[in-house]
Structure 1
Amino acid sequence: MRPLSELPAEWQVTISGPESARRISSLARHEIEVHVRHELLQEDEELARRHADNIETLSRLHTERRQAQDDARTAQAEIESELAKYRQRRDDAERSAADFEIKLGIERDQFAAYKSTLEQEKQVMEINYRRLTDLLIEKGNRLVALGLADAEDVAALMPEMTSSEDERSGITFADALAGDYARLAPLLQTRMADVGLLYSQAQLRDLLALLRTRDLIVLAGDSGSGKTSLVRAAAAAIGGISTVIPVKPNWTGPEDLLGYYNPIERSYQATPFLLALQAAARNPHVPHFICLDEMNLARVEHYFADFLSLLESRSTSPEIHLYTADEERHVVVEQSIFLGVEAEARRRSGLPDTATLEEILRHDQANAELHRIGGLADNESVMVYHARLRRSLAAQLRMPTSITLPENVWIFGAVNMDDTTHHLSPKVLDRVQVLRFRNPMLADWDAIEREVQEASSSIAPFDGPLRMLPHELGSRAEYPAFDRSDVNVAFLSLIARQYLDPLGVEFGLRAVRQSQGYINAAIAAGIGMDEALDNVIKHKILPKIGFDSARPAGNGRSRRELLMDLSAELGRRFDNVGLDAETSSVGDLERMIRLAEGNNGIVNYWLR
């Protein structure tokens, strides 16, 4: 058929004769058979391919079914294993619960028995306590009757006879300011302004932060700059008590601060400082500010070193040992013997238990018995012996062998640097916080008065004085742990490593932790982080700077260059944070560098 279809149309071919038709038919049949065979071959190939695919699919399905069966068996085994574990745990828990119930029952019975025993012991202790109290009262009354002790001294030994409540009048800190420490500075500012004292809120917030640290606070400044006035006014504003103790130039040891035991008079010679501590201990609810005025008239490390070491104890209240307990024991034995002798003399002469020493001496038989039993010679006066006993007993009653630093005491030191005073040693500076006062005549009085007016308008008025408790100002605690990840600690470490150590200025781990404690307290007092760090530089670093800038530093560089670099470092840290350029640490350090130029290169924080 194909040859016919391929003939040109213009040929006009016609079919004629029988052979042509057969040939054409044969060719057509051949083509048809070829085509049919080709189609059958393709269908066979397709069927074969599909069959192969079906076999492969069937094989994969068998494999997946076997894998699924294996996974199911594995999962079933794991579930059964977990169920077995849970059953085991349940059984163990049930057994533990049963054991716990048994133990609980036993402990409940033991607790009931212990409670019963405790109640019995409590009753016995109450009976013994009443007997002891009665005995103390009896012996105390006897000591008073014999004139060996004053009634006030005996009453001080009886806790139930002394009041432990806060008897101050006024409004509490919680009622006045809702216990918000950050709002305290404006209130103090207005109260001080009412008595004619003007301090900026920045000064008062700094003071409140320092109070919260419970460190020794050194107030530095010229005479008349308001150091002791601030202590008195701050104590009065919070309902506290202030005691200003002038330091004498001849103080050379701890006995000038705390007193000493006089073995001849058998009594302790107390000092105003020690008496102030005792007064604070008798009023634990009242804050007591004790200020050593002109602290550096004598060398601080000579008379205050032992006390500074005691203040390093932060977790517990430091105990101050005054003298040995041997003297106390001697007095107790001596008094006991005398009381026994006079009791026997009264019994033999028939005098009552209430007889006074005067009645015993007037009674001939009792007087004679007292001399005879006591072994007193005829020419030895009972009155002389009695006077010696009275002095020694009064000394023991009024001054124990040791006292604990009261929690309601804050210690200040006021210093003035001139030709008549001594510089503070590195040991002292390492343990204190220095708050420096500028010349009051340089203060911006208008700005302070505006602060006072704003504070007066923002604080709700209330009647009566403020009455704060010691713990509301801050409690003694360990300094924060050294935290290298803290940004302020990292900055202080950088300053110490790159500048202070080459300059020979000590700034160690304790100073860093102390600085961390101040920053935390400053934030509570309403001071921003940047200002708090700036105050740390002024309190703990700048006061330690004092040397000849012409000499080379430890790393070989010029000390003056190091100071200039330190000033630049501080300038970068406190750039654009809103600090007063004149009162900031950068301003103070630049002033020190300028003054050194006219002082033969001697750099000194205290130089004016």
Structure 2
Amino acid sequence: MPLPMHLRGIYRKKQKSYMMILMLAMLDEIESMEKRVVLASDVKRRFHDYLIKREQTNLVMDLPPKGFKSWKDVLPGNMNDIFNQPINALADVLIYDKPAGTLEIRPTVLDKFDEDFIAELRDFTQAELQDYYDKLAQKQNSLRREFIMFMDQYPTARNEPILDHSLAAHFRQGIPAQLRQLRFMSDLLKVKSSVGFSDRWARMPWIAIMDKRLTADPQSHYYVCYIFSEDMEHLYLCLKHSDEPLKTSGIQEYREAVEGIRSKLPAHSFSSKDIREWGTTKSSLDYLSGVIIHKRYDRTDMPTDEVLVDDLYSMIKLYMETVTKELGEMIPSDTSVGELDQVVAHIRHYINSRGFTYPDHLIENFYLSLRTKPFVILAGISGTGKTKLVSLFAEALGANYTLIPVRPDWSDPTDLIGYKNLPGDFQPGEVTKVLVEASKPENQQRSYFICLDEMNLARVEHYFSDFLSILETREHAKSNGKIVTRNLLSTAGMTEEDEQTYQDLHIPQNVYFIGTVNMDETTHPFSKKVLDRANTIEFNYVKLDNWETEEQGEQSEEQASVEPLDARSQVLTSDYLTLQDALPDHKALIRETTNELVTINAILEKIHAHVGFRVRDEVCFYMIYNQQIGLLERNIAFDHQLCQKILPRLQGSSQGVKRVLLELYKHATNQPNLRIADYEHDASDLYDKVPTNARYQMTANKLAYMLRRFDEDGFTSFWLS
């Protein structure tokens, strides 16, 4: 029987193969059971088996989530997220009864078991899936093709000017970008390549992959490296030592450094044979002396992409394990850091399994805010679960959690930092105790959360200003690339024992400050100094009728078994501290974000509320991390930043403030024809007419509220009271 026309468009909006694979798994189960309603768990098993079998036969397909080498390694919790995507996309065709755990084809599509209809739908689905795979094969990048193309074209290219040469540009940007997209590439890794200098080509171009915990650039320590031979007939995948010892001590010490690393490596399949024979000059011979282990590929017999990727995975795994051992740290496992969107999903599932639910995107937003800067403010009315969010988030990460209730009489940092008693002994404050513990070598891979509860019961600028200032001194240490700050304490006048304990104490990169605040008559407002240095997340919208989903008895067995991540998993560490650090990889996004901020700043300047470079940089970092992980749509992410970095600065009773709010509302709702003059006297109509398709929905809703408050009270502020 012919398939109805309305079903021939069900796969039109496909981004991956999941919808077609789900339908094939569904049809297999229907045929097996000879009924329209089947168990979702059985369909999910078939869905996963299909992905595994196609992978095992080395056919083109969608890759597994980052952090997983193959589909068979994907965890059940991760499969739930993947499985739910096509179910939601096919909601017009399928009914998913979650409490009953069943799936069925809608009666309007299939009212009874019909072999002919099922066969027709199967044929159509298979044809659509094959068409998808054919197009995917054309799109997927190929390392093998890239390497061969470069080796074929390089002998000719190096006889031409290097400046603005397309091959040089592709080698510096295109191939490294492709490597960064590989599913096992951790955020700890940095990719850099060199095809020569400003006026001449390199004899042996290279691509370096460096663990940022140890190696900031190819001039220090050791790293994974692709080296192309001078005649372009061979390519070497290497673990290579920098030529730093060669420059400082000489060739003998250089070879000893290489052998020292080689002797520490565990068993592996790579060769340690000398490859200096491929060099033709003294500089190239010396350069190749730094190769610790390698694998050689020939241009005329380049292996498949599967082999190239598998070899690179093995080399990087060996390298990072060696670095970890050298640093005395435990490297995060692939499943905890390789694919950070899965980490965030795990945190969300963990919190839900403990009987707590939060507004859409709050967990993702909280994660991105902490990643951007280790100081976040959670604002909202009492009882919305601000403090509980911090404790559960820390618990989900296996992190250390310290709750410090703020007292109204705090007027200096003594209670947090500490003081010297009469005999002269230093009495550490609560924060200092945490910093000492977090700074111990055995704890540096564990996250430490410090929650300052009711943070604005005292004036934040009085007791927390020292920490705010020190956080602004963050930089990457030259010795190991870790983020460090200037020292917290002066040891002048301390006893010898105290000086030994506190002389180098700073805020390490594994410590995060979160303040919870209520805005009412018992609390103090924030200055712009504080607001500029934090992401301020507000959640005041409470669903009191959500009690049924909060019952522990309603949790599935799978939810109840959700466990915390490995406590040693570092998934919040910032990659960037300056915009210059991020420019090479994210120039287009930085330009787009900055241009949008320039437009908004032009509005804010009218009441001297415009932002500076610090806010610009942190908004860009937030947007970069979001794009890297793929947590939120671009406009939703920027919407969060407007609500967290821009709107909290706005308050006042002048008409100038109201005009700025109206101009921001016009921009947020994307209504170019909105006449500001029509609402300068009375903007109350806007509160009930916020477009549901606004460019920045949360910002538009908040601005409408602030405008109504201005009309009613003659004064407005971001903060509820």
TM-score with structure 2 setting the length: 0.47
467, 473, 477: which one pairs with 2:566? 467
Report the equivalent of 1:565. 663
Alignment gaps of 5+ in structure 2: 1-202, 204-242, 259-326, 477-483, 673-689
279, 293, 307: which one pairs with 2:453? 293
241, 249, 263: which one pairs with 2:408? 249
Cα 1:447–1:205 change in 2 (3 A) is: farther
Within 1, Cα distance between the matches of 2:248 and 2:404?
61
- Residues 491 and 502, structure 2, Cα contact 8 Å, conserved in 1: no
- Residues 249 and 297, structure 1, Cα contact 8 Å, conserved in 2: yes
Report the equivalent of 2:131. none
Question: 2:626 aligned with 1:522, yes or no?
Answer: yes
596, 603, 606: which one pairs with 2:716? 603
Question: 2:427 aligned with 1:269, yes or no?
Answer: yes
Question: 2:417 aligned with 1:304, yes or no?
Answer: no
Cα 1:572–1:447 change in 2 (3 A) is: farther
- Residues 209 and 525, structure 1, Cα contact 8 Å, conserved in 2: no
Q: CA deviation at 1:464?
A: 4.6
Within 2, Cα distance between the matches of 1:417 and 1:226?
15
What percent identity do the matched residue pairs reach?
Answer: 29
Question: 2:527 aligned with 1:425, yes or no?
Answer: yes
Cα 1:279–1:114 change in 2 (3 A) is: closer
Classify the secondary structure of the residue corresponding to 2:446.
Answer: coil
Report the equivalent of 2:436. 278
Cα 1:164–1:193 change in 2 (3 A) is: same
Given residue 514 of structure 1, which amino acid in structure 2 is its aligned partner? E
Cα 1:562–1:112 change in 2 (3 A) is: closer
Within 2, Cα distance between the matches of 1:438 and 1:174?
36
501, 508, 515: which one pairs with 2:605? 501
Report the equivalent of 2:704. 590
Given residue 266 of structure 1, which amino acid in structure 2 is its aligned partner? G
Within 2, Cα distance between the matches of 1:515 and 1:203?
17
Give deviations 1:302-326, integer Å, cap 9, x for gaps: 1111211111123231133323345
Pairwise CA RMSD: 3.9
Within 2, Cα distance between the matches of 1:442 and 1:580?
29
Within 2, Cα distance between the matches of 1:315 and 1:108?
27
Given residue 595 of structure 1, which amino acid in structure 2 is its aligned partner? R
Give deviations 1:436-492, integer Å, cap 9, x for gaps: 11143468678999xx99xx89x9998753215453222363132487972221111
- Residues 407 and 470, structure 1, Cα contact 8 Å, conserved in 2: no
Cα 1:325–1:443 change in 2 (3 A) is: farther
Cα 1:298–1:460 change in 2 (3 A) is: closer
Within 1, Cα distance between the matches of 2:643 and 2:661?
15
- Residues 353 and 560, structure 2, Cα contact 8 Å, conserved in 1: no
Within 1, Cα distance between the matches of 2:717 and 2:446?
39
Given residue 301 of structure 1, which amino acid in structure 2 is its aligned partner? E
Classify the secondary structure of the residue corresponding to 2:502.
Answer: coil
Between Structure 1 and Structure 2, the one with more helix by share is: 1
Cα 1:260–1:195 change in 2 (3 A) is: same
Question: 2:638 aligned with 1:549, yes or no?
Answer: no
Within 1, Cα distance between the matches of 2:447 and 2:249?
46
- Residues 417 and 428, structure 2, Cα contact 8 Å, conserved in 1: yes
Cα 1:221–1:109 change in 2 (3 A) is: closer
Q: CA deviation at 1:223?
A: 1.6
Report the equivalent of 1:192. 351
Question: 2:577 aligned with 1:478, yes or no?
Answer: yes
Q: How many residues align?
A: 377
520-529 or 408-417: which moved more?
520-529
Q: CA deviation at 1:434?
A: 0.3
Cα 1:173–1:261 change in 2 (3 A) is: same
Report the equivalent of 2:379. 220
Question: 2:515 aligned with 1:413, yes or no?
Answer: yes
Report the equivalent of 1:491. 596
User: What pairs with 1:114-129 in structure 2 (closer than 5 Å)?
Assistant: 114=253
Within 1, Cα distance between the matches of 2:572 and 2:423?
41
- Residues 222 and 416, structure 1, Cα contact 8 Å, conserved in 2: yes
Alignment gaps of 5+ in structure 1: 1-92, 94-103, 120-162, 332-392, 554-558
Within 2, Cα distance between the matches of 1:585 and 1:112?
62
